[in-house]
């Protein structure tokens, strides 16, 4: 499988399961219409329609495309890690039960793990 070339910072997050500092990512306060894809393999992950302002410092989504993400128990035993189901890239973590949206789910994603593709107008 061919992957996009990653910068050292993207590799730290995507391959080594790092986290970008809160409120630092390019997509935290970003609300244009389009699709968010995996930065490593270009697989569509989230629609801009599912993005919401969670105030947490990272892009937040309450839904993903069918079979786009894989949920894995985080080594800390507390959280659920989310990965790209296609290439295994680390995206961030999933939180449920917070009642922030009707779907009651928050996919908290590193901007470095995703890339935005604007909707065609």
Catalytically active residues, by annotation: 108
Task: Name the phi and psi angles at 89, rounded to 5.
Answer: -60, 135
Q: Which of 68, 63, 62, 55 is nearest to 28 (CA)?
A: 55
Q: Quick check: helix, strand or coil at residue 53?
A: coil
Q: Kindly report the number of other CB atoms within 10 A of residue 47's CB atom.
A: 16
Q: Which of 103, 118, 16, 27 is nearest to 8 (CA)?
A: 16
- H-run or E-run covering 2: none
DSSP 68: -
Residue with tokens 């930065």: 39
């Amino acid at each position: 499988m061919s992957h996009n070339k990653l910068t050292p910072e993207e590799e730290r997050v995507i391959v080594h399961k790092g986290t970008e500092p809160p409120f630092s990512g390019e997509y935290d306060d970003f609300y244009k219409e389009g699709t968010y894809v995996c930065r490593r393999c270009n697989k569509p992950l989230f629609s801009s329609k599912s993005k919401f302002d969670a105030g947490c410092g990272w892009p937040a989504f309450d839904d993903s495309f069918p079979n786009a993400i894989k949920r894995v128990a985080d080594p800390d035993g507390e959280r659920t890690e989310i990965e790209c189901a296609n290439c295994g890239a680390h995206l961030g973590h999933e939180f449920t039960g917070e009642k922030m949206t009707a779907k009651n789910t928050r996919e908290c994603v590193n901007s470095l793990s995703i890339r935005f593709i604007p909707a065609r107008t």
